[in-house]
């Protein structure tokens, strides 16, 4: 069953939402490694929506739709920003980008989740992690 949280562009609200989802993950018996991966991806995805998407605008919200089962978690995070092109984000591991602070969150989400995809506008990320 899919559930939805709507939070304001506030990092404290983001932490509360993350904790709520992680409680569901724990209730479904996810292992330590999967839980760590989910926690990291949630932190990155929600904070990116607040910081880069909504630009900390308190009038804008972030919508977090999720479903958790013993087999997998699927999370869709949508902000009210203009969006971006994920393909245009420079590879943070390239020598010329090592000292730039951008792109690492996307890289981490892709590394730790089984599936990561964006809508055409670029203001929504969908992530899936299977319970292994």
pLDDT of amino acid 20: 97
pTM value is 0.93
Given a cut of 80, is residue 115 above it in pLDDT? Answer: yes
Three-state SS for 99? coil
Structurally, at CATH architecture level, domain 3-130 sits in: 2-Layer Sandwich (3.30)
Given a cut of 90, is residue 73 above it in pLDDT? Answer: yes
Mean of the per-residue pLDDT values of the chain: 93
pLDDT of amino acid 72: 97
Mean pLDDT (whole number) for 14-41: 97
Domain map of the chain by residue range? 3-130
Separation of alpha carbons 27 and 38, rounded Å:
14
Q: What's the pLDDT band for 101 if we cut at 50, 70, 90? A: low
């Amino acid at each position: 069953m899919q559930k939805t949280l709507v939070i304001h562009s506030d990092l404290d609200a983001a932490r509360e939402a993350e904790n709520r989802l992680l409680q569901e993950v724990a209730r479904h018996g996810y292992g330590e490694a999967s839980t760590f991966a989910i926690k990291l991806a949630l932190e990155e995805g929600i904070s990116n929506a607040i910081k880069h998407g909504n630009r900390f605008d308190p009038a804008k919200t972030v919508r977090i739709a999720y479903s958790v089962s013993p087999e997998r978690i699927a999370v869709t995070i949508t902000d009210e920003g203009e969006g971006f092109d994920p393909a245009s984000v420079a590879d943070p591991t390239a020598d010329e980008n090592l000292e730039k602070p951008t792109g690492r969150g996307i890289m981490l989400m892709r590394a730790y989740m089984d599936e990561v995809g964006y809508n055409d506008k670029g203001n929504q990320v969908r992530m899936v992690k299977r319970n292994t």
